[in-house]
Every structure is written in structure tokens, then in C-alpha cells.
Amino acid sequence: MNASLDISHNKALLWLMAAACGLCAGANYYCQPLIASIQQSFQIPQSQVALTVTFAQVSYALGLLFIVPLGDTVNKAKFIPILMLGAAFGLGLCALSNNIYMLWIGTVITGLFSVAAQVLIPLVTVAIRPEKIGAVVGFLMSGLLVGILLSTSLSGLLSNLIHWKSIYVLSAVLMLILAVLLKSRLPIVSITRMHYLQIFQSMGQLLKQEPRLIYRSLIGGCVFAAMSMLFSTIAILLTQPPFELADVWVGIVTLVGVFGALSTQLIGRWADRGYSRMLTWFGCSILALSWGLLYLGGQVLIFYILGYGLISLGLAMVHSCNQNIIFRLNPIARSRINSIYMTFYFIGGACGSALGVFAWHHGGWITTCFTGLALVIAAAVFIVLDQLYTSRSKVHS
């Protein structure tokens, strides 16, 4: 990498990028606490409104698979602001919606184009020195995770204070401002010339050539599935006896996850020093411990809060290590690599959400906790397979 391109010392630009990551990622979560308000506004069944959450997740997954890989073949400095403008347009449609169908269209457009954050992160990895990848990616991931965690709390708060559409108005305006600010500041890096179909052929080749990408993607999918089980059951658990918390307090409980999100830069620095293997196991151990605390949290709120904070920390630790490893596999294919990894990651999240609801209805909180622990054990199995592969590779080399 050309040393003159290194942006790791440009703190203002890195803060703008982190804010963009948080805003883009959070845009897909605004609707979750607003289902009751949207139902009252449009006078439709709650089940129909709940589809909005599904559309947000599915459209984001499609964007990860079909849009993010383009980041290797186009000028990212122009592509990222264009994607953010598309997301702002989708948010604007949501703000102007006068029926559920218009809200769905806006949600799908937002989901597709908010993957700008997943193009931005690979861009950073080629605009900094290799030894700083973990720390800088960790900083951007802090912004992304904090954005997700704050999105539901902020949308619920603004809904109570003003109107449920106010979060969409505010987010659309901020997205436009950040797109304009980034347009002239993002670094221009080299690209790979290939046709659209060739992109997907090359992604298939990457899966064959890089077994570590598969293992680390499966690890990420399992740990995010374990976390997503909480996303789908937290409101069910905490709004019922013995807790009976109001919606606003449920949102406040989730804010304990911010501490895990803010740890990613520090974790990235340690990963840069060669401690990814140790940190991965440490993160997996924390995830296992968290499910023990969450089990006790079924009756005692403080244990639930501690467990939620620890599972957020464990997820951040494993995810940061995964990204530190995969971004070093093939420097010219980082957008495609990120697309593969994040697609596995969010498929895991979707499966985890479904598993959480299924486990709750077929055995209550105890079954939910054992299912979450089983996902952590599955992640540990893939960690072992990843390490066996790296050990064999070292022997053969």
C-alpha cells in the first residue's frame, strides 16, 4: 500500500466513517419498537406490520449478497455516497408513507442501500497500513454496533415524544449530510476489472481457495445467531411476570450492550498483535458464561443485564477477530470476502431469531438458554476446525 494513502491518522474522517456505519446499520432496526404505533396509525393487523421487520432483514441480506461485492470493481469513493443517498431516499419514503405498502417499499430500499457500511469497511482496510487493520476496523465496528443498539431506543423515544415517523425524518437528513461530507473525503483506491457475473464466479473460487473464510463465516453466523435469540425473546421475557417492564425499560436494558460495542477497537489492536486465536477462544468462553447468567436472569433482572452485557462483549470479541483474519486473506477481494462473511453472519442472525421464538414456545426460557449455549458450542467446533486447518497449512508450508 502507498504510504501516502494511509488514513489511520485522519481522525475526523474516521469519525465520519464510524458515524456513517452506525447510521446505515441502525436504519434497519427503527421499525422494531414501532410496531404498535404503526398499527394504530394505519389501522391494520399487527401481523401485517410485523412483516416490516422481515422486509428490512431480507432486503439487507440481498444487498449484502448482490451489492457489496461491487465494491471491488467500482470507485468506492463515489459508490458509497451513492448508496447512502439511496438509503436516504428509502428513509424519506418511510417518513412520507400514508399506508403500509409505501412503508414496505421505503423499508426495502433502505435495507438494500444501507449496505454502504459494508463497502466502507473494506475500503478502509486498503487505505491503512496492514498492521492497523484490526484497530481501525474495530473503531468502525464500534460505530456500527452502537448505531444498532441506539437505533431501537432512539426510535422508541422519539415516537413517544413526537411521532413514530420522526426517526425516519431525522435519519434521512443525517444520511444526506454524511453522504455529502464523505463524497470529497473518501480515499480513491485501485479496483479489479470484471463483469458482474464474474464477481460471483470469483466468490465461488474464494470459497474453494480460502477454507478459513468458510470456517470464520460459520463461527460468525453461530455467535450472531446466539445473540439474535435474545433480540427475538427479550420483549417476551421482560414484559411478563416476574418483571413486567414497560417497553421503554426493555430498550434501556439493551443499552448495556454498548460497552461490548465500544470494546471492538481495543480488541482489534490486540488482534493486530497476533492474539486472534486466544481472543476468539476467550470470546467464545464469555458467550458460554453469558448464557449461564441469562438462565439465572429468567428470575433475577440483574443477572439478565449482566448476561446481556457479556454476550455483547463476547460477540464483539469473536466478530472483531473474524474480520481481522478474513481481511488478510486476499487484499484485492475484500469487498467480496466481506460480502460472503456478512451474508453468513446475517443468515445466522435470522436463524437465531427464529430459533429463539421456537425454543420459547416449545420449552420456555430454559430451552431458549440451552439452545443459545448449543450455538456457542457449534461455534467452538468451527474454531477447532479452523485451527486444525491453519496447523496443517503451517506443516505443509
Q: What is the DSSP string of 246-308?
A: -HHHHHHHHGGGHHHHHTHHHHHHHHHTT-HHHHHHHHHHHHHHHHHHHHHTTT-HHHHHHHH
- Own/partner pairs for 162-170, CB < 8 Å, 24+ apart? 164/34, 164/37, 164/38, 164/41, 165/94, 165/95, 165/97, 167/30, 167/34, 168/30, 168/91, 168/92, 168/94, 168/95, 168/106, 169/95
Positive or negative torsion for Cα 352, 353, 354, 356: positive
In a domain, 202, yes or no: no
In a domain, 5, yes or no: no
The answer to whether 381 and 218 have CB atoms below 8 angstroms apart is no
Residue written as cell 479489479? 192
Burial group, residue 286, by CB count within 10 angstroms (0-12, 13-18, 19+): buried
> Is residue 279 located within the same domain as residue 372?
yes
In a domain, 199, yes or no: no
Show the cell assigned to 337: 470476502
Q: Domain of 42: which CATH number?
A: 1.20.1250.20
Q: Tally the domains of the chain.
A: 2
pLDDT on residue 4: 44
Show the cell assigned to 360: 420459547
Give the separation between CA 283 and CA 81, rounded to whole angstroms.
Answer: 34
pLDDT on residue 96: 95
pLDDT on residue 384: 97
> Is residue 311 located within the same domain as residue 261?
yes
pLDDT on residue 161: 83
Cβ neighbours around 198 below 10 Å, total: 12
> Is residue 322 located within the same domain as residue 387?
yes
What's this model's pTM, rounded to 2 decimal places? 0.83
> Is residue 56 located within the same domain as residue 168?
yes
> Is residue 224 located within the same domain as residue 102?
no
> Is residue 255 located within the same domain as residue 396?
yes
pLDDT on residue 206: 92
In a domain, 194, yes or no: no
In a domain, 192, yes or no: no
Show the cell assigned to 143: 460505530
Q: Which domain holds residue 317?
A: 207-397
In a domain, 319, yes or no: yes
Give the separation between CA 122 and CA 116, rounded to whole angstroms.
Answer: 11
> Is residue 173 located within the same domain as residue 34?
yes
In a domain, 33, yes or no: yes
In a domain, 375, yes or no: yes
Boundary residue ending a domain (139, 157, 187)? 187
> Is residue 147 located within the same domain as residue 33?
yes
> Is residue 16 located within the same domain as residue 99?
yes
Give the separation between CA 36 and CA 29, rounded to whole angstroms.
Answer: 15
3-state secondary structure 50-91: HHHHHHHHHHHHHHHHHCHHHHHCCCHHHHHHHHHHHHHHHH
> Is residue 173 located within the same domain as residue 276?
no
The answer to whether 122 and 30 have CB atoms below 8 angstroms apart is no
> Is residue 178 located within the same domain as residue 215?
no
The series of mean pLDDT values per 10 residues for the chain, 397 residues long, is 61 91 90 79 80 82 88 87 96 94 95 92 83 82 84 80 91 96 84 79 91 96 91 79 78 79 83 91 97 96 95 92 90 86 87 86 94 97 95 75
Q: Helices 11-26 and 76-96: crossing angle, nearest 10°?
A: 40
Boundary residue ending a domain (152, 187, 222)? 187
Cis peptide before 242 (omega within 30 of 0): yes
Give the separation between CA 105 and CA 161, rounded to whole angstroms.
Answer: 26
Rg (the chain; Cα; Å): 20
> Is residue 367 located within the same domain as residue 325?
yes
| Total count of residues recorded for the chain | 397
Boundary residue ending a domain (141, 158, 187)? 187
